[in-house]
Structure 1
Amino acid sequence: MDRVCLIAAIVFLGTCFGTAEAKCVKRSCNPEDDKPCPDCYFCKQDYYGNYFCLWVNEGNVVDLDDLKAIIQNFESLTLTTVDGNPDPDVNDPVIGYGFNLNRADAAATFNAVLGSGVDFNKVRNGEQGITLEQANALFDHDIDNIYIPRAENSIGEALYDSLTYNRKVAIVNAFYRGDIGPTTITLIKEKRWDDACEDYLDSEEYRNSAQNIRKRMECNARQFCPPEPKPCKMD
């Protein structure tokens, strides 16, 4: 394993904190909270109806619900419109889990997904908010109809379908944020996972980003780098 993959692997050592001998401790979570778990974890219900933060790895990530929960955990949830761009000269209104109200299809998507009960212009202008259920509906629409198809089209549907869910998460998460470049995509298509891991983090986007973005990208990169440790699975 090369140096970049090794760094990505050890940044998140799983739900076992401290040394390799440390005891695994589960942290409870509420899936309705904003960022209910630390970075590279996600909130999942066990067989007894309790929610715990689980580490993102092949053993814990098994279906589409997990994929969505992981991406939501990286996004800031807001039920009122906020400016998502740190540049004071740029107005970039977002709501929900990063839904951009400036995008070309924003009004049409609002009307199609949320119906007539929500006034798009009032939401965009900050005069009206949305509910958690509506935020989830917008997010589900975009993942199902934009970002998973984009991932499938970029690397090939057959390859995408063959991947473990943790790798699907990494690719869709990278497309959702827009930080995956053409070289990384080519390396994934060629199944050169170590090289994809290295190339993904060897970018100005990674080097110049804030710590939370770097952690998000490191989490994605770690899914590209085989093999990966699996310290904790659900009971």
Structure 2
Amino acid sequence: MSYARSPLRQDNKTGATSCYGNVLKKSLSDTEIAHAEVIAPFEGFRSKVYYVGDDRENPTIGIGCNLGRFGARQDFERVLPDRDFDAVKNGREELTEEEIYTLFAFDIQKHTDRARGKIHQFDTFPVYVQTALVNAFYRGDIGPKTIALINNGRWEDVTSEYLNHKGYRDADRRDLPGIRKRMNFNADEFRKYAEELNKEKRDKEEGEKT
């Protein structure tokens, strides 16, 4: 039976993620878990393949695991070697909770590494900025112009360029409000960081005057 529920449920006594959420704690660093805790609610939790809106080319399963993307088969078979990729992709078979978390942990690491490879000073940013960047890479909505602005330190221009995205503009028409909500979340984090940098700059200038 296909099910959907909160991906990272909390144990009331220990505060730890319950059930197979512990897979994440065994596989991921604390910072990567911080990314996962933000990304998971945006993605949802499905044991059986589903499609987002009118996109019929990218069957998705688990916590936003896209089985239609390039390299999906190789990654799936590497992480879950005992499962039939085609049977899962075609909807004939479902994944267990443990398998879903295992795939998710792999995807978090993969997209964190992608962000680190594209963003020159990724590890020097506050965790909340790193998380927003991984969230953007996970969904695939961060473009080369936005990446260039970040790498050039032009954070004051990052938010507007990031939201200048076809997926963001078309979200309402496609009845996919979650896209705008998610991208707005990332944009707010980028804006917050830009404001922090501006404040540091002003404080430094004021200090030099005194």
State whether structure 2 residue 5 is matched by structure 1 residue 34: yes
Q: Map of 1:83-98 to 2, 5 A cutoff?
A: 83-87=51-55, 90-98=56-64
Q: What is the identity, as a one-letter code, of the residue corresponding to 1:136?
A: Y
> Contact between 1:35 and 1:75, CA under 8 Å: does it hold in 2?
no
What count of residue pairs does the alignment treat as equivalent? 176
The separation in 2 between residues aligned to 1:110 and 1:180, in whole angstroms, is 24
> Contact between 2:4 and 2:46, CA under 8 Å: does it hold in 1?
no
Q: Map of 1:35-114 to 2, 5 A cutoff?
A: 35=6, 49-50=14-15, 63-87=31-55, 90-114=56-80
Q: Map of 1:195-214 to 2, 5 A cutoff?
A: 195-209=157-171, 210-214=176-180
Unaligned 5+ segments in structure 2 are 18-29, 197-210
Unaligned 5+ segments in structure 1 are 1-31, 37-41, 53-61, 229-235
Deviation at 1:51, TM superposition (A): 7.4
Query: Of the two structures, which has the highest relative contact order with CA contacts closer than 8 Å and spacing of 6 or more?
Result: 1
Compared CA separation, residues 175 and 119, structure 1 to 2 (3 A): same
Q: Map of 1:1-235 to 2, 5 A cutoff?
A: 34-35=5-6, 49-50=14-15, 63-87=31-55, 90-116=56-82, 118-144=83-109, 146-156=110-120, 159-209=121-171, 210-226=176-192, 227=195
SS in 2 for 1:103: coil
The TM-score with structure 1 as length reference comes to 0.66
CA displacement, residues 31-75 of structure 1 (integer Å, 9 cap, x when unaligned): x96357xxxxx87779x52479xxxxxxxxx72211111111110
Q: Which has the higher helix share?
A: 2
The separation in 2 between residues aligned to 1:180 and 1:192, in whole angstroms, is 15
SS in 1 for 2:80: helix
Question: What percent identity do the matched residue pairs reach?
Answer: 36
Q: Which has the higher strand share?
A: 1
Deviation at 1:77, TM superposition (A): 1.4
